[in-house]
Amino acid sequence: MGVRTRPTRDGIPDATVSRLPVYLQALTGLAESGVPTVSSEELAALAGVNSAKLRKDLSHLGSYGTRGVGYDVEYLVQHISAELGLTQDWRVVIVGVGNLGRALANYGGFGSRGFSVAALVDAGADIVGTAVAGLPVLPLTELERVVRDLRVQIGVVATPADVAQEVCDRLVSAGVTGVLNFAPCVLSVPNGVMVRRVDLSTELQILAFHEQRRAASDLAEDLSSDLAGGLFDDDATIAPPVDLPKEAAG
């Protein structure tokens, strides 16, 4: 039986949803270079998937392309953006403005993808009141107010793990419906709230696993081609078994 991917509420499998941002990134690059249409093979190569998978993914959106012409790049950018909810502006609060929170706040790429960092919140007396990426760092006591007043939908947790659940609970009770968790722990959220965890060390471990498998299969391949290529002398004979003296054998 093949592997099934869980469909989302609107019938698009989760695995497809996770590839849509990759297609969107490739398509945005093409649109910026003025490319009007793209074949499924070209787009698949840019996205690093095979073209059958790409066609299947896009068919879930009702986008089939035109035989001999391919996909209309601008149309597909609009279509995928709408599907991902990127045509509306999402307001984000970053809680924890240390090394990671600071880097996220300073990252310019969110705005162009429909996400705006509305507020920064931290509990550290030395950080509160300073400005990061043009925004004041607010004290934790302001968390509920900024979520409500600025109609923040997404909370980014970039605090130490031991306080992450508490921060998450406060975000959720203030009205946040999506949580992006960078802290190395699992967060529980009530139904209706989605939490995604980003863990670079997990990704590195997955890379290491595949790297190790690849090295092992390269080694096996080398060995089998050495055997096939006659590394071992064809004329070599296997030494006959040595008769052990009776006392040693017994």
Ligand X SMILES: NC(=O)c1ccc[n+]([C@@H]2O[C@H](COP(=O)([O-])OP(=O)(O)OC[C@H]3O[C@@H](n4cnc5c(N)ncnc54)[C@H](O)[C@@H]3O)[C@@H](O)[C@H]2O)c1
Instruction: Give residues in contact with ligand X (CB under 6 A).
Output: 95-101, 122-124, 127, 140, 158-161, 163, 167, 182-184, 198-200
Q: Does 100 belong to an annotated binding site?
A: yes
**Shorter beta-carbon distance to ligand X: residue 31 or 161:** 161
Q: Smallest distance from the beta carbon of 169 to ligand X, in angstroms? A: 11
Residue nearest to ligand X (CB): 98
Q: Smallest distance from the beta carbon of 28 to ligand X, in angstroms? A: 25
Q: Does 34 belong to an annotated binding site?
A: no
Contact 92, 107 (CB under 8 A): no
**Shorter beta-carbon distance to ligand X: residue 12 or 198:** 198
Q: Smallest distance from the beta carbon of 190 to ligand X, in angstroms? A: 20
Q: Does 129 belong to an annotated binding site?
A: no
Considering only the C-alpha atoms of the chain, give the largest distance between any 2 of them, rounded to a whole number of Å.
Answer: 94
Q: Smallest distance from the beta carbon of 164 to ligand X, in angstroms? A: 7
State the Cα–Cα distance between residues 63 and 43, nearest whole angstrom: 14
**Shorter beta-carbon distance to ligand X: residue 162 or 235:** 162
Contact 225, 218 (CB under 8 A): no
Q: Which of 114, 117, 115, 116 is nearest to 77 (CA)?
A: 114
Task: Write down the H helix ranges in the chain.
Answer: 14-32, 40-47, 51-60, 73-83, 99-106, 143-149, 161-174, 200-228, 246-249
Q: Smallest distance from the beta carbon of 182 to ligand X, in angstroms? A: 4
On the 0-12 / 13-18 / 19+ scale of CB atoms within 10 A, 126 is exposed
**Shorter beta-carbon distance to ligand X: residue 30 or 167:** 167
Where do we find the tokens 């996205």? Answer: 47
**Shorter beta-carbon distance to ligand X: residue 111 or 124:** 124
> What are the binding residues?
96-101
Residues of each annotated binding site for NAD(+): 96-101
